[in-house]
Amino acid sequence: MARVKIYSTGTCPLCERAKNLLKKYGIGYDEVRVDTDRAGLKEMLEATNHARTVPQIFVDGKHIGGFTELTEFHMDGGLDDLMPGAA
């Protein structure tokens, strides 16, 4: 199971950017498409206190936020230990 979970839709450019950022650094993730998975949508709403925008990103079960917050998290070194070869 990946340590990163992304709630997304198939038409979300920021979702694609978030996934591409993770792929760039070799970080695996689990994706839940809330546009095709009603249970996934319900799960996202409960986990985020009813956030209605995507992406919604979690790292190790902690809610990070969207793409902007993921980028800030990365700039602060938050993704470093998720990269392949990290100690």
The domains located in the chain, with CATH, are: 4-82 (3.40.30.10)
pTM for the whole thing? Answer: 0.93
Mode of pairing for the β-strands spanning 4-8 and 56-59: antiparallel
AA identity, residue 84: P
pLDDT above 80 (res 4): yes
pLDDT digit string, tens, across residues 31-44: 999 999 999 999 99
Token pair of 24 as six digits: 């760039």
Q: In the numeric block, which tokens belong to residue 60?
A: 């190790």
Q: pLDDT tens, 56-86? A: 999 999 999 999 999 999 999 999 989 988 7
